[in-house]
Chains A and B, each alone.
Chain A
Amino acid sequence: MKSKESGSAAVEVHDLDPQEFLEQVHSFEFWFEAVEGYLSGLTFGFRPDTVDITLPDLDRDRLITVLCNYCVGETAALEGASGLIAIAPNRMAKIFLSTQVVDEGRHLEVLLHRLRMLGVADPEAEMERRANRSLQLFKRRLLELVSSKDWEAAIFAQNVILEALEFTVFQNHARDADPITREVLLGIVKDERRHIGFGENELGRRLKTAPHIRARLGQVKKELDHLVLDTLEETMKELNVDAGEREKLGRSYLEAAARLGLQP
């Protein structure tokens, strides 16, 4: 965990052999250098001098609903990633997932903090009250896959499907969000990119050597797609996104699975 001032020569990770590359990019050291740049100086995910604007009541209420659902998604991600550590096939994957666990914990923390800033006294109770049913069903199914110790299916549901959903939604929401919510979401998106990269890399290598896994993942995708697309639709409606844009976002989510050769 070198500070930026340490002056140590940076290693060009893409010049390394595949095993050493994985050792590097899945390490705590690599994680810290990655997050240090964009989390340094932030408190609960935003710069202390960012001005909080007062939202009209209806917009505020809609934002609370959306953030509550983000918290449900991040709780699923936290519980999923932590459960995956036990079934990860090697030490490097375990260490990467540990960095993901703390990322997901941080996301939950900054979103709960934002809810409190918006005047929600008991965010956990509010999450229960406003949670989208499809998202809750997705969470349940994800944790079942983790409990059943099905590494490929669970990592697919967690690091490809759920992370791609969050990435798509958060990135879109950040464009029109109030300044504090925007900073919080953009910080989360940077983490999600790393998580999706791990999922695609891990599954991509496995699919090359064991193509029969593809059929099982296709089945998982089929089962989860409608829950994800329902959640996406509901969230985008709350954010006043028009139908055309909603359809585009749905396609953008489906592209993540297509990159692994799993067709929509």
Chain B
Amino acid sequence: MADFLSAYSIQNWLESCPQGYLEGTEFGHQPGESEPELLAQNKILHEEALRTTVQLVVGERCALAASSGLINAAPDEASKRFLATQTLDEARHVEIFTQRLYDLGVARRDLESVIKQYANHNLVKFAGVLLEKVDKKDFVAGVVGQNIVLEGMAFTVFEMMHALNEQMNPKFAHVLSGTIADERRHVGFGENRIGSLIKEFPGKRPEIERMQKEMSYYMLATFADAFRNNPAAAEFDKLQQPQAHAKWQGVDLAEMPPEQMESVLADTVLKEFKVRLGRIGIEYQTPARP
């Protein structure tokens, strides 16, 4: 375990993250990059950009609360130190997505009310299930909920959003690529560290499986709310705005109706959950479909 955890040291983190792929960036993007004019001009697209970014802030605030809360529950020093780097990663994500809200024109004094207005209630429930485990200082369930379920979801969602924005909004795509690199590290830690703890505490399996099923349901409900009745695609059609091809998971997202995109995203995340949970000895539970 010691050798594996040494790969997650703060020294490695300093070299690979702030002194590596974040070097020279400003709130996660290249200096001088800005949001596309279209987002400022079009009311519907602007509101959808706000709504999407608020969900990212809500998710990252949850991740910040969870990773910091798990430090005191961690059974060894090396895990505490890895979670310290994860805590700062999550705080950085909160900061850069909050900054995006400011860049989209949200006044600082209105930040909390905008978040309250647009936060998806299913995402809030998703966070609630995880934070309940963290509050109880349940390290094993907390890390599975945080580093496998939440981070696994974030990783896939960010990858999809990155593909969609790579050509249309390079600033946002750059912000996402840094967070994707962070999430990859977090998921890796979860899989590596928790496998051994699950073996040590096999009695925890049923409770963790229930948590995964519940969190997965709220995740799917959040996706459903985000994609169904989303006016952005129709607005792009109305504007006859040329959409750049966005290849992801073998499909072209630019040619898909939102419902199909929802289905591709949900299937990708759930497939990843199944594989990752299998690796740590947890049996994936199929959630109800909203």
Residues of A within 8 A of B (CB): 1-3, 5-6, 8, 19, 23, 27-29, 32, 36, 39-40, 43-44, 75, 78-79, 82-83, 85-86, 91, 94-95, 97-99, 101-102, 104-106, 108-109, 112, 124, 143
Contacts and interface: CB of A to CB of B under 8 A. Distances in A.
Given A95-B94, A101-B71, A6 B27 contact: no
Contacts of A98: 64, 68, 87-88, 90-92
Given A40-B19, A94-B91, A8 B31 contact: yes
B260 interface: no
Interface stretch (B9-17, B155-163, B188-196): B9-17
A1 B26 contact: yes
Contact of B94 (A32, A40, A86, A94): A94
B146 interface: no
A124 to B, nearest CB: 6
22 contacts: A1-B23, A1-B25, A2-B25, A2-B26, A3-B23, A6-B31, A32-B18, A36-B18, A78-B80, A78-B81, A82-B68, A82-B71, A85-B87, A98-B91, A101-B84, A102-B10, A105-B80, A105-B85, A109-B9, A109-B10, A124-B76, A143-B72
A122 to B, nearest CB: 10
A61 B9 CA distance: 26
Given A105-B10, A108-B81, A83 B24 contact: no
Contact of B69 (A6, A86, A143): A86
A28 B72 contact: no
B68 A86 contact: yes
A5 B24 CA distance: 8
Interface string B77-114: 10011011101101110110010000000001001000
Contacts, number: 115
Given A101-B87, A102-B87, A29 B71 contact: no
B11 A43 contact: yes
A83 B65 CA distance: 9
**7 smallest beta-carbon distances between A and B, as pairs:** A105-B84, A98-B91, A82-B71, A85-B68, A102-B88, A105-B81, A82-B68
Say what secondary structure dominates the interface of chain B: helix
A82 B69 contact: yes
A94 B88 CA distance: 10
B95 A27 contact: yes
A28 B92 contact: yes
Interface of B: 9-11, 13-14, 18-19, 22-27, 31, 64-65, 68-69, 71-72, 76-77, 80-81, 83-85, 87-88, 90-92, 94-95, 98, 108, 111
Given A101-B88, A102-B84, A108-B77, A86 B65 contact: yes
A108 B19 CA distance: 20
B72 A83 contact: yes
B69 A95 contact: no
Chain A interface helix/strand/loop/mixed: helix
A39 B80 CA distance: 21
B31 A99 contact: no
Nearest to A32: B18
A102 B19 CA distance: 15
Given A85-B68, A86-B68, A105-B10, A19 B84 contact: no
Contacts of B94: 91, 94-95
Give the one of A8, A36, A85 with max B CB within 10 A: A85
A159 to B, nearest CB: 16
B76 to A, nearest CB: 8
A94 B69 contact: no
Residue among B11, B26, B31 with max Cβ neighbours from chain A (10 Å): B11
A146 to B, nearest CB: 8
Contacts of A1: 18, 22-26
